């Protein structure tokens, strides 16, 4: 059951976006404006995959991102009218020298172009060590669904030579078909993340040593040598995938010697969302080289 | 930044010293002054040496000889933050992870959520060390969140769900 949560409006300090249209790609940075400086984004997260939920299109991301970005209490299912864009881009020289969480931007100003879909946090399922996912849905019906991931150039390891641009997800992994330990999988981190781009590694533990719950079972990744230590801050909520198959939603890292990354597996998330809204769908592409957007189930 | 709750700290430290005394069989350190700055790392409290055989307490009945526990059967300190959470008072721990000082509380994190500002996914509260134990630090939220850049090692004892630090090692 969806419970009404905090509603954030313009009175909180920043004008809400009026941007219509745009595409809800996975892989893009996801944020809201900082009330203390409306021209700047709050510390970001990353969108995972396009989703259709409760009659609206949007994206999946990590549940704790709503807590970090909006102060929503852990585990609270909520509806809010906060509206912001995906993929706030630097235009002109951009910088956040005074906002230490984006060290890869070092001069000038941010400008939030909101070139992509205006989304609002809508459904959140997150408690510490528990399910960690959320749906951000479109504000405007003009938002386009997407089965694509936009992976910014960067990162340290490619997948089949892929180093940036649109990546086409053509299916999602069922738990029964889940890749084995040793499979090479990849994480996409948005352009506002500490280390945006593609980061890959081997599945080391299944189930993982962190975030093991009754309904969700994370998987640990030992980063590939070139990818260590993954996307870093701002990569939460981003996509994990291998070949053209979506796997899960990035949650965080364990802080042991290897700094394993972990993600929420997509099928349990999908099943739980369907229990809230039976028409829930995930978006993917009809072919690995592109083609039309279709709906998928794990 | 919220001030440290000194009364709470003193209570925990006092209880921890009692626990330590019972664990080590020694009297309280003579320099254990509760007025000391407990945010400083304590480095000289002896630790169990599990590489040596552990002898049990002398038996009162001559029919039951004293036994020696081989090193590999000795109880090892808990090494996982996840396992340390909820462990009973008196449990020894040797934990490794990034530490954060936030809202006046020190945490050791077993996992970190990677939103723009990092936060503990699974963490356990620590008393007895200060940010000087962190080595290199990174600051977020206008200085209210101070993180260790690299994981640190904390040796201590569980007391009422907290880790009372006996010693700590900064990143090498």
Supply the DSSP string of A201-220, one letter for each residue: EEEEESS-SSSB-SS-B-EE
Supply the ipTM of this predicted assembly. Answer: 0.78
Contacts of B107 (CB under 8 A, 6+ apart): B99, B100, B101, B120, B123, B124, B125, B126
Q: Is B145 within 8 Å of chain A by CB?
A: no
A237, B151: Cβ pair inside 8 Å?
no
Using CB atoms, pick whichever of A101, A129, A255 lies closest to residue B112.
A255
Q: Do residues B147 and B100 touch, judged by C-beta distance below 8 A?
A: yes
Q: Average pLDDT of chain B?
A: 69
For the segment A105-137, what is each residue's pLDDT rounded down to a tens digit? 433 334 444 457 778 888 887 766 568 889 988
Give me B153's structure tokens.
């090692």
Q: Is A45 within 8 Å of chain B by CB?
A: yes
- For the entire predicted model, the pTM comes to 0.77
Using CB atoms, pick whichever of B82, B114, B119 lies closest to residue A232.
B114
Q: Is B84 within 8 Å of chain A by CB?
A: no
Q: Averaged over B5-18, what is the pLDDT?
A: 54
Using CB atoms, pick whichever of B80, B115, B122 lies closest to residue A68.
B115
For the segment A180-236, what is each residue's pLDDT rounded down to a tens digit? 888 989 999 988 788 888 888 888 887 776 655 655 667 788 877 767 778 888 899
Greater model confidence, B62 or A199: A199
Provide the pLDDT for residue B65: 43
Cis ω before B136 (30° cut-off from 0):
no
Lowest-confidence segment of A168-182, A194-208, B68-82, B97-111 by average pLDDT: B68-82
For residue A262, the chain B residues in CB contact (below 8 A) are 111
Q: Is B121 within 8 Å of chain A by CB?
A: yes
B17: number of CA atoms within 13 Å, CB side?
16
For the segment A236-258, what is each residue's pLDDT rounded down to a tens digit? 999 999 989 999 999 888 876 66
Provide the pLDDT for residue B95: 94
- Nearest CA distance, A214 vs chain B (angstrom): 16
Using CB atoms, pick whichever of A43, A129, A253 lies closest to residue B112.
A253
Q: Do residues A57 and A137 touch, judged by C-beta distance below 8 A?
A: yes
């Amino acid at each position: 059951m969806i419970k009404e949560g905090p509603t954030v409006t313009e009175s909180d300090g920043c004008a809400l976006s009026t941007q219509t249209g745009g595409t809800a790609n996975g892989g893009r940075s996801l944020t809201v404006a900082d009330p203390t400086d409306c021209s700047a984004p709050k510390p970001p997260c990353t969108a995972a995959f396009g989703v259709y939920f409760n009659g609206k299109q949007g994206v999946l991301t990590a549940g704790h991102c709503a807590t970090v970005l909006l102060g929503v209490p852990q585990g609270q299912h909520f509806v809010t009218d906060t509206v912001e864009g995906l993929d706030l881009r630097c235009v002109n020289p951009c910088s956040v020298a005074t906002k230490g969480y984006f060290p890869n931007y070092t001069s000038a100003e941010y400008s939030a172009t909101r070139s992509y879909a205006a989304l609002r946090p809508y459904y959140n399922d997150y408690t510490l060590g528990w399910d960690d996912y959320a749906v951000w849905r479109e504000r405007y019906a003009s938002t386009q669904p997407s089965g694509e991931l936009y992976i910014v150039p960067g990162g340290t390891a490619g997948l089949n030579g892929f180093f940036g641009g649109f990546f086409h997800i053509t299916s999602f992994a069922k738990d029964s078909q889940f890749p084995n330990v040793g499979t090479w999988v990849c994480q996409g981190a948005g352009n506002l993340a500490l280390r945006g781009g593609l980061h890959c590694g081997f599945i080391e533990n299944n189930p993982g040593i962190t975030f093991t719950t009754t309904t969700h079972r994370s998987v640990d990744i030992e980063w590939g040598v070139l990818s260590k230590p993954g996307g870093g801050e701002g990569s939460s909520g981003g996509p994990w995938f291998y070949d053209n198959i979506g796997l899960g939603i990035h949650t965080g890292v364990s802080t042991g010697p290897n700094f394993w990354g972990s993600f929420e597996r997509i099928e349990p998330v999908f099943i739980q969302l369907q229990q809230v809204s039976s028409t829930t769908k995930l978006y993917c592409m009809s072919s690995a080289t592109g083609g039309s957007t279709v709906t998928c189930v794990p | 930044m919220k001030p440290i709750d000194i009364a709470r700290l003193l209570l925990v430290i006092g209880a921890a010293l009692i626990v330590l005394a019972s664990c080590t069989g020694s009297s309280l350190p003579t320099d254990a002054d509760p007025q000391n700055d407990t945010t400083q790392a304590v480095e000289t409290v002896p630790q169990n040496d599990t590489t040596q055989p552990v002898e049990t307490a002398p038996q009162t009945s001559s029919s039951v000889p004293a036994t020696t526990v081989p090193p590999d059967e000795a109880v090892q300190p808990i090494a996982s933050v996840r396992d340390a959470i909820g462990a009973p008072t008196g449990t020894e721990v040797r934990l490794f992870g990034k530490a954060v000082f936030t809202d006046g509380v020190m945490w050791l994190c077993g996992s970190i959520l990677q939103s723009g500002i990092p936060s503990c996914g699974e963490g356990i509260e620590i008393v007895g060390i200060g940010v000087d134990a962190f080595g290199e630090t990174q600051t977020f939220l206008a200085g209210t969140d101070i993180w260790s850049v690299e994981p640190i090692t904390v040796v201590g004892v569980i007391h009422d769900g907290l880790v009372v630090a006996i010693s700590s090692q900064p990143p090498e």
